[in-house]
Amino acid sequence: MSSAPLILSRYPFNTFNALFSCAKFLSLAQQLHAQVIINGLYREVFYGSNITNAYVQSGSLPLATKAFDQITAKNPHSWNTIIAGYSKGCLYDYVLKLFRDLRSDGNAVDSFNLVFAIKASQRLMFFHNGRLLHCLAIKSGLEGDLFIVPALLNMYAELGSLNDAHKLFERYSYRSSVMWGFMIKGYLKSSQEPRVFELLSNMTNYFDFRCDVFTMEGLVRACANVLAGREGKASHGVCIKNNLLVNACLLTSVIDMYMKCGFTRYAFLLFEKAHDRWDVVLWSALINGCAKKGKFCEALSVFKRMLENSTAPNPVTLSGVILACSGVGSLKQGKSVHGFVIRNMVELDVVNYTSLLDMYSKCGCVRTAYKIFCMMPVKNVVSWTAMINGYAMHGLYLEALSTFYQMTQNECIVFGKQVPNSVTFTSVLSACGHSGMVQEGLRIFNSMKDNGISPTEQHYACMVGILAKAGQFDAALSFLSDMPIKPGLNAWGTLLSACRFHKRVELAEEIAKRLSLVEPNDDFSCQASLANMYIDGIGKMTVAEEGLNKCLGFSSIEVRNKLRVFSSNDTLAFTSPDISHTWNS
């Protein structure tokens, strides 16, 4: 657009006023402001408000504020203009300050400025202030306003006060799709998916209800969270019927729902049909869905297609790719992803750092994993647990215990103190089991209650494993009998595995009988453990007589940029497509 100076005094005032609506650029807004000053009109509310709005539209809030302050007698329109500008700029503290100044100036509140004040309280998480604004809306006769009610609903839902949201929602017979959507959003945020389905039942009976993108996205997300595949398919049908899948966010939610519910074929079909709308969010949903479902090779294959499509990954994408690299043990691909992060200065959060740490641990590079751990600007309990587990899986029990004590001791200034959770104790007890440190294991197990954690069957199974692997079978059996919870598959299975290590065949057969009573539907794993023991100790003849077969184990290796998966019976069981890629961006 030309930036040639305008001499607005040549034009009549009606033309001059019409130019305000065209002032979308800063240079034009400043020229208009100059003409207003030349004509001595800058203190008049009409011209001052229009200049303020012109600066707001051009993105210059400081100049808008100066123009606003020069107005001699401000009216509601001028106040609403500057408040809307600061709200648009996400400067919510200033929005509330301006709202207070508006009231101090003797102006009455209206639905316009009150909505912005409610939104600001929500974004700043000022719940008490939001309640006061609700009271002000009632006092001003605006509680039933078509703009105020949705704003209050959204505030209560976002700040977790669902009882207040529900009371407000039930108070009015008129319910727009936006109001339904805010209620769904609130229940989803509080993990109350059953209430979402109750709302769905009420919505379909509501005479004026119309499906829109907002409500359907919430419904699809609820189906995904509770793995309700059948309801998810029905929701997809409603979206097709109402032509709502033109919305990229809703389409992504449907694909994510199908991935979480295990209908990967439907997710891929829907993805392929949307080839003209592929973006990083859509790619990320597919990659993360595959990775979380254990389809690691498929995730890496989709990632390769994404790069070939010239779509740059974001931190969410990289999180799924790193998880896939961990699952297949693809160190080369994992390093390549890490290199991309460094070269492109991608800002990683604690989840991404932990994923990298876990990937290096599972790929055998525990020292590199520790370097990543030390580089993390913020560490949470998941990060600490991942590092402990990485040491444990490589038999570095002293390092695992040292990290555990660093995590829990107050004097650890470098890393900071974190309270261990249930998974942390499982990892450190596993390290004790691999090292045969019985007394240390018992001491850590007994310290769980000091951290407010009640031991689960998994923790008891770890202790049984510690005792049994050390050859203390009498103590392990006594520990099993004294358990406050009934021992299940984990506890008995751990003892059965220890029997193989110490060649206690008779005890193993007795345990197998008990295990078949505890888990009658899991007889295969019990027989497989016995089969492994018979093969190691007695011979294949006994295995054939029992009709048992040794379970095949699979492994993988990268050779010439190709991932090869094989078993002990095969020279080559499976070869993946080329998954290696180098980024130049």
Q: Is the pLDDT of residue 187 over 70?
A: yes
Q: How far is CA 555 from CA 51, 323, 358, 559, in A?
A: 70, 17, 19, 13
Q: Is 528 exposed, middle or buried (0-12, 13-18, 19+ CB in 10 A)?
A: middle
Instruction: Quote the pLDDT of residue 583.
Output: 43
**Where in 411-561 does DSSP place strands (E)?**
554-559
Q: What is the pLDDT of residue 211?
A: 75
* Alpha-helix residue ranges (DSSP H) falling in 409-488: 422-435, 438-446, 457-469, 473-481
Q: pLDDT band for position 412 (50/70/90)?
A: very low
What one-letter code names the amino acid at 390? Answer: G
Is the pTM for the entire model greater than 0.85? Answer: no
From CA 493, how far away is CA 152, in angstroms rounded? 54
Q: 504-512 long-range contacts, Cβ below 8 Å, gap at least 24?
A: 504/473, 505/533, 505/534, 505/537, 505/538, 507/473, 508/533
Tell me what pLDDT residue 369 has.
94
Q: Give pLDDT tens digits for 431-468.
A: 888 777 888 888 888 888 877 788 888 888 888 888 88
Task: State pLDDT tens for residues 515-574.
Answer: 666 555 554 454 545 545 554 554 443 444 444 444 555 566 666 666 666 665 555 444
Alpha carbons 331 and 322: distance in angstroms, whole number: 10
Is the pLDDT score of 341 beyond 60? yes
Assign 3-state DSSP to the chain and report helix, strand, coil percentages, each to 5.
70, 0, 30
Torsion on CA atoms 462, 466, 467, 473, rounded to nearest 10: 80
List pLDDT tens digits, range 354-396: 989 999 998 889 999 999 999 998 888 889 999 999 998 888 9
Average pLDDT, the chain: 80
CB 238 within 8 A of CB 201: no
CB-CB contact of 459 with 432 (8 Å): no
Q: Which of 110-124, 330-344, 391-405, 502-516 has the lowest mean pLDDT?
A: 502-516
Supply 203's token pair. Answer: 């919505």
Residue (of 143, 212, 205) closest to 176 by Cα position? 212
- Residues of the chain above pLDDT 90, percent: 21
Distance of alpha carbon 543 from the chain centroid: 47
Residues 6+ apart with CB under 8 A from 65: 82
Please give the Cα distance from 128 to 134 (Å, whole number). Answer: 10
Specify the DSSP class assigned to residue 9: G
pLDDT in tens, 58-100: 788 888 888 888 888 888 888 989 999 999 888 999 999 999 9
What stretch of H or E contains 575?
Answer: strand 574-575
Taking 70 as the threshold, does the pLDDT of residue 212 lie above it? Answer: yes
Residues 343 and 375: their CA atoms lie apart, in Å, by 16
pLDDT tens for each residue of 159-184: 888 889 989 988 887 777 788 888 88
Tell me: pLDDT of 157 over 80: yes
Selection from 226, 251, 215, 162 nearest residue 206 by Cα: 215
Short-list 331, 411, 419, 346, CA closest to 382 = 419
- What confidence tens digit (pLDDT) does each residue in 36-60 have? 787 777 788 787 888 888 888 878 8
d(CA 581, CA 585) in angstroms, rounded, equals 12
Confidence check: pLDDT of 129 > 90: yes
Enumerate the H helices of 159-263 as residue ranges.
Answer: 162-171, 177-189, 193-205, 213-225, 229-241, 248-260
Amino acid at the residue 189: K
What's the rounded Cα separation, in Å, for the pair 229 and 234?
A: 9
pLDDT tens digits for range 221-256:
888 988 888 888 988 998 898 888 888 889 999 999
Residue 451 is predicted with a pLDDT of: 76
Q: What does the pLDDT average to over 257-265?
A: 91
Higher confidence at residue 486 or residue 339? 339
- pLDDT at residue number 552: 55
Residue whose C-alpha is closest to residue 218's, from 243, 241, 242, 199: 199
Q: Cα(454)–Cα(170) distance, rounded to whole angstroms?
A: 41
For 93-125, the pLDDT digits (tens) are 999 999 999 998 888 899 999 999 999 999 999
Amino acid at 237: G
Can you tell me the mean pLDDT for 256-260? 92
User: Which pLDDT band, with edges at 50, 70 and 90, does 259 fall under?
Assistant: very high
Highest mean pLDDT out of 19-23, 124-128, 188-192, 536-540: 124-128
Label residue 216 by pLDDT band (50, 70, 90).
Answer: confident
What are the residues whose beta carbons fall under 8 Å from the beta carbon of 388, sequence distance 6 or more? Answer: 400, 403, 404, 407, 424, 427, 428, 431
574-575 vs 562-567, strand pairing mode:
antiparallel
List the one residue out of 565, 509, 561, 514 whose CA is nearest residue 538. 509
What tokens were used for 397? 């029990």
156 vs 543: which has the higher pLDDT: 156
* DSSP per-residue string spanning 234-280: HHHHHHHHTT-TTSHHHHHHHHHHHHHTT-HHHHHHHHHHTGGG--H
Question: In the chain, what percentage of residues exceed pLDDT 70?
Answer: 80
Q: Which residue bears the tokens 């294959």?
A: 301
Nearest to 425 by CA among 409, 398, 407, 439: 407
pLDDT (tens digit, 9 = 90+) per residue, 25-36? Answer: 676 767 777 777
**pLDDT (average), residues 395-413:** 78
